[in-house]
Amino acid sequence: MRSAPIARYASAEELGKDGFAQLLRAEWTKFTTVRGWVITAIAVAVVTVVAVVDIALVSQNHNTRPALATGPDNESVTDAFYFVHQPLNGDGSITVRVTSLGNVPQAALADRPSLAGADADIQPWAKAGIIVKESVTPGSPYTSVIATASHGVQMQYNFTHSVAGSPGSVSAASPQWLRLSRSGDTLTGYESADGSSWTQVGTVTLAGLPSTVQAGLFVASPMAQLARGTDSVTLIPTQAKATFDNLGLHGQWSGSAWAGTDIGQAEQVALDGDVAPVPHDGVTRSGGTFTVAGSGDVAPYVPFVDPTQVSFYGSLVPLLMVIALGTLFMTVEYRRGMIRWTLTASPRRGRVLTAKAIVIGGVSFVTGLIGSAIAFPITESKLQSEGWNAPFYHMVPLTSAVGLRVVVGTAALLAVVAVLAIAVGALLRRSAGTITTVIGLVIFPLVLALTLPHGPASWLLKVTPAAAFGLQQALPHYSQAPTACLPYNGCYPLSPWAGFLVLCAWAAVALGVAMLVLRSRDA
């Protein structure tokens, strides 16, 4: 007599979904049952606050600053150029042809070995063109259409805005025609290659523009950046010279003589006993041709040091703790032989690694978020008390887009580095080797960049996980306001989130390789 076959039990739940939830719960239980891991996670938040605030209290060189103007939006700006102008008493337009734009090396630097050659090449953002400005007061609203040395035609206004026109440089063989028209508060910029066929570059509205404004020709040339070793840059005044002809005026011009004004001339720069004098700007006229020499810049002011980012270098300490935590969460199971039980209970090894990454990454993110959210406002307050005040540096509120990016970005940085440690730990299976490797990938490039020349350092911070530290930058960066970008002053070559994607790519690749290796070898 045969017995009836026994039917196997089949759960109504989806096996994969239910199994992974149980796996996550199991990994979370492992984490919470080890007291040292829990204490380390809590310590990450505490140490983040202490380390970041402590660095904020370190004295930073911020006592010597240039004379600044305040722009239309209450921002600090550089407003220095040579201006050939006359009043425009209402609507009208100005047209001109730019036939040359080149630099003028300073003879005064030739006998100063530490400075000679600093201004040998024309600055990429040297500019020559036409401008309508509310007044000759530095910082007053303006709109300009310019030819630049390396960035083609641009329409710039109110210091922080720049609209690109056609590319190309200016020469006698390829002159650039420019036109700027005013109708009430609206100004429209045009460009032309031949003076006959015109292309609109952009339109700007300057609310509250008075009836009478100053308009005319101008030339400016930003500071040259002279490298002094691997960790400092000195700014040297430069001068550009441009030639204008075919000047045409239409509308309600005053008809008075052209006046030349040195707007907001920059100060001299002292370096190691040497002095780089401000070039002598001016204008010469021969019939309808104007030759104008100018130095300075018309751009937003960006401090040389980002004090908030430098303060957040304190997050390197909790980062080391997170690396150790992620490493041990993976390698302890190999050292104690527990990995066999884990993989027996959950044979799908990729899911085991994923669960571990989610648990340790989540813990690192939460603790890092708490610590950085507390540290940020305290740091800004301390910086202000140390002398980082407007107009040189504006405090960044925690609830601003920049403040949230620094805080959330620091937490995300810790979380992804923890995942990277999990992946490397699965590959190497040894704690010391894993910690050393992850530190070498994430932190060592940052340290090395402090000792390398600017070019190699910039490259290193573009391709290694250290690029993600750019998330902690608090100062805005403008393409039209070149600044020396070095890691010691808190500046990174990639945009903040692009740098974070570099770190994520490293972690994703490491995690993928770890999954393949984990599936192909014995536990």
Q: How many CA atoms lie within 13 A of 210 on its CB side?
A: 12
Residue whose tokens read 């573009």: 462
Distance from C-alpha of 298 to C-alpha of 292, rounded to nearest angstrom: 16
pLDDT (0 to 100) of residue 110: 63
Name 48's Cβ contacts closer than 8 Å, sequence gap at least 6.
314, 315, 317, 318, 367, 368, 371, 372, 374, 375, 410
Distance from C-alpha of 33 to C-alpha of 36, rounded to nearest angstrom: 9
Per-residue model confidence as pLDDT tens digits over 276-327: 566 778 999 999 999 999 999 999 887 777 888 888 989 999 999 999 999 9
Distance from C-alpha of 373 to C-alpha of 398, rounded to nearest angstrom: 8
pLDDT (0 to 100) of residue 67: 62
Distance from C-alpha of 296 to C-alpha of 221, rounded to nearest angstrom: 5
Residue 452: pLDDT band with limits 50, 70, 90: confident
Is the confidence at residue 244, as pLDDT, over 90? yes
Per-residue model confidence as pLDDT tens digits over 88-145: 999 999 999 999 999 987 766 666 666 666 667 888 999 999 999 999 999 999 999 9
Per-residue model confidence as pLDDT tens digits over 469-505: 999 988 877 888 766 566 666 678 888 999 999 999 9
Which residue intervals of 176-315 are DSSP H helices?
A: 307-311
Distance from C-alpha of 380 to C-alpha of 388, rounded to nearest angstrom: 9
Per-residue model confidence as pLDDT tens digits over 10-69: 434 444 444 788 888 888 988 999 999 999 999 999 999 998 887 765 545 444 455 678
Is the confidence at residue 343, as pLDDT, over 70? no
3-state secondary structure of 42: helix
Domain boundaries, the chain: 22-62+305-520, 69-300
Average pLDDT, the chain: 85
| 227, β-bridge pairs | 233
Q: How many CA atoms lie within 13 A of 362 on its CB side?
A: 10
pLDDT average, residue stretch 216-244 = 80
Distance from C-alpha of 261 to C-alpha of 277, rounded to nearest angstrom: 18
Residue 379: pLDDT band with limits 50, 70, 90: confident
pLDDT (0 to 100) of residue 99: 97
CATH 2.60.120.200 for domain 69-300, yes or no, is: yes
Task: Name the token pair of 224.
Answer: 């040259």
Residue 9: pLDDT band with limits 50, 70, 90: very low
Measured CA angle at 249 (ends 246, 250), to 5 deg: 135
Among the ranges given (269-283, 440-454, 455-469), the one the predictor scored with the smallest mean pLDDT:
269-283
The alpha carbon of 404 is separated from its chain's Cα centroid by a whole number of angstroms, namely 16
Distance from C-alpha of 279 to C-alpha of 138, rounded to nearest angstrom: 19
Q: How many CA atoms lie within 13 A of 256 on its CB side?
A: 12
Between β-strands 153-157 and 142-148, what pairing exists: parallel, antiparallel or unpaired? antiparallel
DSSP 206: -
Is the confidence at residue 3, as pLDDT, over 50? no
Q: Specify the DSSP element, H or E, that contains 200.
A: strand 199-205
Task: Name the token pair of 277.
Answer: 């004098």
Tell which wins on pLDDT, 414 or 494.
414
pLDDT (0 to 100) of residue 238: 87
pLDDT (0 to 100) of residue 390: 59
Q: Are 395 and 383 in contact (CB under 8 A)?
A: yes
Residue 1: pLDDT band with limits 50, 70, 90: very low
Cα torsion through 167, 168, 174, 177, rounded to 10:
40
Residue 152: pLDDT band with limits 50, 70, 90: very high
With a pLDDT cut of 70, the percent of the chain lying above it is: 82
Distance from C-alpha of 223 to C-alpha of 239, rounded to nearest angstrom: 9
Residue 233: pLDDT band with limits 50, 70, 90: low
Give the CA distances from residue 126 to residues 103, 138, 420, 480, in Å, rounded to whole numbers and listed in that order: 8, 18, 44, 10
Task: Name the token pair of 159.
Answer: 């210091």
Nearest to 317 by CA among 366, 371, 363: 371
Nearest to 156 by CA among 211, 62, 109, 222: 222
pLDDT (0 to 100) of residue 75: 81
Nearest to 172 by CA among 105, 98, 241: 98
pLDDT average, residue stretch 415-422 = 97
Name 39's Cβ contacts closer than 8 Å, sequence gap at least 6.
none
Is the confidence at residue 161, as pLDDT, over 90? yes
3-state secondary structure of 246: strand
Give the CA distances from residue 413 to residues 401, 441, 493, 506, in Å, rounded to whole numbers and listed in that order: 17, 13, 17, 12
Among the ranges given (193-207, 326-340, 356-370), the one the predictor scored with the smallest mean pLDDT:
326-340
Per-residue model confidence as pLDDT tens digits over 432-442: 999 999 999 99
pLDDT (0 to 100) of residue 11: 38
Residue whose tokens read 């599936």: 519
